[in-house]
A and B are shown apart, each in its own frame.
Chain A
Amino acid sequence: MAEQRGTDTVKRGLAEMLKGGAIMDVTNVEQAKIAEEAGAVAVMALERVPSDIRKEGGVSRMADLKIIEDIMEAVTIPVMAKCRIGHFVEARILQAIGVDYIDESEVLTPADEANHVDKRDYTVPFVCGATNLGEALRRIGEGAAMIRSKGEAGTGNIVEAVRHLRSITGEIRKLSVMGQDELMAASKEHRAPVDLVRDVAALGKLPVVLFCAGGIATPADAGLVMHLGAEGVFVGSGIFKSEDPARRARAIVEATTYFNDPDVLAKVSRGLGEAMRGLDVRSMPDDERLAGRGW
């Protein structure tokens, strides 16, 4: 067989290699090096972290390519970057400069309010956010090679990520005990392709890797979501908006591996300095919530 690139196996395969690891948001070379030295499995190159995007408002777009390329040059771990929902030209540009994963992300201002990017035609793999199983399967149907919970980015509040993970894993459990004759109705209910619904029912899990994102601020948060079925974590504002980023980054890496060992969790949680300042999601107006973006 001749050499084949951009296959599902190759695209989903990179996410397999990231499992059990922490992916960190970074906005410059210095932060990227801190993340790599702390044991991050990848970095997400951004112009602003979500909590600043939230604070500053306005339209949030793909980062300046110079920032992304400088970071690609500086570290040996994979570099991810975000495009706006539905903005397939931003996606093509990110593929052209050779980023390792594209996050079609609700954290940026959506470019299309009906359609996401058709991710099947790309050589570069995509990760997408989801709040429930139907949304995850629609994204996989479009070609996403990795799924993450949306949570509520930039809040430092884990409650929404927990809601989304519990929803996804709970709905998977329900599918796995259904009869074959019930799966078409389930597909209708979830507004998801029936083939993927059948795959999930048979596997008892998503056909791609599932990470948690949106609100992780402490090692204990990382441990919590790993217990709830996440296969790894994205940490956004939680590291570089805290008092001692390098130390907190190392602690979250260890907590993600040793999530089932309370002694290690206790050891790494001690004396980390102040965490990022959090936001109460309940008092947040609907139009400030990012998780509602995406269809």
Chain B
Amino acid sequence: MAVAGVLALQGDFEAHASMLHRAGAEAREVRTREELDAVDGLVIPGGESTAIGLLAEKHDLVEPLRKRADDGMPILGTCAGMIFCAARVDGRAQPLLGVVDMTVRRNAFGRQVDSFETDLRVKGLDAPLHAVFIRAPWVEEVGSEVEVLAEYDGRPVAVRQGAVLLTAFHPEIAGDDRVHRMFVEAL
């Protein structure tokens, strides 16, 4: 069975772990470099991207994560995970992995009172996906290597570059495991 890591520095990593089980993978929490070395792919969960970035930096995970990404390790990032993987963030500087050639805007859909759920068409899925957006980012612009998989209000909210799959919304708490299956199939 493929071993999927979930970066467990902060955020809804437990929700991801249970979706990975449903999608047929073994899920392991990753907080150290040794734990990262032992997984076939990595989920970067929702949470606060500033907190996740600072902890990753402090515990020397940024370079090892970049290296695994460069070597083609499959990554699924949701919300904060999407931001952390971006090359550029619109606004204040924060630690980023920079493995996907795009600019993201944090909290682009607004504050919590503007958070919402809706159904969304995603390239590669035959029926619409139920998507939960929580203080969600959107993608401002993408490089030529990046494929846009879904848009909302004319803004990209799901993208793929190589083995890295990113969503601005939270498939892990919407109860639909098809995005996690896409990730697990790539392991």
Binding site for B on A (CB under 8 A): 1-7, 9-10, 13-14, 16-21, 36-42, 72, 76-78, 95, 98-101, 123-125, 253-254, 256-258, 261
Assess whether B115 is in contact with A10, with CB atoms less than 8 Å apart: yes
| Residue in B12, B55, B111, B113 whose CB lies within 8 Å of A16 | B12
Instruction: Known contacts A1-B119, A3-B118; decide if A13 and B170 are in contact (CB<8 Å).
Output: yes
Residues of A within 8 A of B113 (CB): 5-6, 95, 98, 100, 123-124
Q: Given known contacts A16-B12, A76-B106, A101-B112, what 12 new A-B pairs fall within 8 Å (CB)?
A: A5-B114, A9-B132, A13-B170, A17-B48, A17-B134, A18-B48, A19-B10, A19-B14, A20-B11, A21-B47, A36-B50, A37-B54
Quick one: which of B2-57 are within 8 Å of A by CB? 8-15, 31, 46-48, 50-51, 54-55
Residues of B within 8 A of A254 (CB): 55, 58
Assess whether A17 is in contact with B80, with CB atoms less than 8 Å apart: yes
Closest to B53 in A: A39
* Size bracket, chain B contacts: 35 or more
Assess whether A76 is in contact with B107, with CB atoms less than 8 Å apart: yes
Residues of A within 8 A of B46 (CB): 16-17
Closest to A258 in B: B31
| Residue in B12, B31, B50 whose CB lies within 8 Å of A257 | B31
Q: B113 to nearest A CB, angstroms?
A: 5
Assess whether A10 is in contact with B51, with CB atoms less than 8 Å apart: no
| Residue in A9, A14, A98, A258 whose CB lies within 8 Å of B174 | A9
Instruction: Known contacts A13-B134, A16-B173, A125-B112; decide if A7 and B117 are in contact (CB<8 Å).
Output: yes
Is there a chain A Cβ closer than 8 Å to B160's Cβ? no
Binding site for A on B (CB under 8 A): 8-15, 31, 46-48, 50-51, 54-55, 58, 79-80, 91-92, 106-107, 111-119, 130, 132, 134-135, 170, 173-174
Residues of B within 8 A of A257 (CB): 8-10, 31, 55
Assess whether A76 is in contact with B10, with CB atoms less than 8 Å apart: no
Number of A-B contacts (CB under 8 A): 121
Assess whether A13 is in contact with B116, with CB atoms less than 8 Å apart: no
Residues of A within 8 A of B106 (CB): 76
Instruction: Known contacts A9-B173, A41-B10; decide if A124 and B50 are in contact (CB<8 Å).
Output: no
Q: A231 to nearest B CB, angstroms?
A: 9
Assess whether B112 is in contact with A78, with CB atoms less than 8 Å apart: yes
Instruction: Known contacts A76-B50, A76-B106, A125-B112; decide if A2 and B118 are in contact (CB<8 Å).
Output: yes
Q: B24 to nearest A CB, angstroms?
A: 23
Residues of B within 8 A of A7 (CB): 117
Assess whether A16 is in contact with B15, with CB atoms less than 8 Å apart: yes
Assess whether B11 is in contact with A100, with CB atoms less than 8 Å apart: no
Residues of B within 8 A of A18 (CB): 47-48
A42 to B119, CA, bound (A): 28
Assess whether A100 is in contact with B111, with CB atoms less than 8 Å apart: yes
A-B contact pairs, 20 of them (CB 8 A): A1-B117, A3-B116, A5-B113, A6-B113, A7-B117, A13-B115, A13-B173, A14-B115, A17-B46, A17-B47, A17-B80, A18-B48, A19-B11, A21-B47, A42-B48, A78-B48, A78-B111, A98-B111, A253-B54, A257-B8
